[in-house]
């Protein structure tokens, strides 16, 4: 009963986070639809003037259609498909639709993984693109005023690019492992690895929540940079740990053999 309750709670959290990301990507601010010349791009410029965050966090992608259509849009589709993929009723009543949605998740996952390196190559991450001056200033500040916090944050800032690549690798590895399990007809392991995959991807939504919860109406660019950095590590740890707990609950709840006829 405890495992079932925990899994129901985990599904509700996942659904809420996926819904938030789907609305963010597809409805507003919907950055994949923006370009330097269209009305949506101009709207985003105005929209971000009302936000306490740096406008470039949203507007920087409007001149990069490869990122918009290979990363941002697939992330929106992934967010819509994942709750369907993990819904037991759909899996039992519509197995063909379940498989179709599953392959959509796989395709989006591969595109999102590959486009992470386009983002890094073009230096569109928040440190290189949005807070480069603040990062340089923080390096000087950390040297002038050494402390455990400053040293830790400097290490975290310098490690963001590597950590992003590693988390993207786990994201891809988990979906590949899920595919291998279903090919072997190891359905129980397939479901567990799908949960781990979702956990590795949903960390982006958790980071958004962390940044919004720690936001202030009047906050300096340096404060924003540090909260985004903390959010990356904290969110990924929480999301992966939550997925692992859900996977353990699934293992406890499961009965019988792994194989299906």
58: its two tokens: 């949203």
Q: Is the pLDDT of residue 70 over 70?
A: yes
Q: How many angstroms separate the CA atoms of 115 and 119, rounded?
A: 6
Q: Is the pLDDT of residue 255 over 70?
A: no
For the stretch 218-240, pLDDT in tens is 789 999 999 999 999 999 999 99
3: its two tokens: 């495992």
Least confident range from 140-154, 161-175, 212-226: namely 212-226
End-to-end CA distance of the chain: 28
Q: Is the pLDDT of residue 256 over 60?
A: no
**Residue with structure tokens 């179709």?**
100
In the three-class reduction of DSSP (H, G, I as helix; E, B as strand; rest coil), residue 228 is classed as helix
Which residues have CB under 8 Å from 13's CB, separation 6+?
A: 242
In the three-class reduction of DSSP (H, G, I as helix; E, B as strand; rest coil), residue 131 is classed as coil
Q: Is the pLDDT of residue 10 over 70?
A: yes
């Amino acid at each position: 009963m405890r495992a079932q309750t925990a899994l129901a709670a985990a599904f509700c959290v996942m659904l809420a986070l996926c819904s938030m990301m789907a609305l963010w990507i597809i409805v507003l601010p919907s950055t994949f639809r923006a370009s330097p010349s269209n009305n949506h791009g101009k709207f985003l410029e105005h929209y971000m003037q009302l936000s306490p965050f740096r406008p470039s966090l949203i507007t920087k992608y409007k001149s990069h259609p490869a990122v918009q259509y290979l990363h941002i849009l697939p992330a929106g589709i992934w967010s819509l498909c994942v709750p369907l993929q993990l819904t037991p009723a759909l899996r039992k009543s519509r197995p063909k639709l379940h498989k179709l949605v599953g392959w959509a998740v796989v395709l989006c996952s591969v595109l999102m993984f590959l486009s992470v390196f386009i983002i890094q190559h073009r230096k569109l991450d928040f440190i290189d693109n949005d807070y480069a001056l603040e990062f340089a200033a923080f390096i000087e500040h950390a040297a002038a005023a050494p402390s455990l916090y400053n040293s830790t944050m400097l290490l975290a800032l310098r490690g963001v690019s590597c950590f992003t690549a590693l988390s993207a690798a786990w994201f891809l590895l988990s979906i590949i492992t899920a595919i291998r399990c279903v090919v072997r007809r190891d359905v129980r392991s397939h479901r567990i690895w799908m949960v781990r995959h979702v956990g590795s991807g949903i960390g982006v939504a958790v980071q958004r929540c962390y940044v919004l919860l720690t936001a202030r109406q009047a906050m300096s660019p340096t404060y924003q940079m540090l909260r985004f950095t903390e959010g990356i590590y904290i969110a990924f740890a929480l999301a992966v740990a939550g997925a692992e707990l859900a996977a353990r609950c699934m293992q406890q709840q499961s009965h019988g053999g792994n194989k299906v006829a």
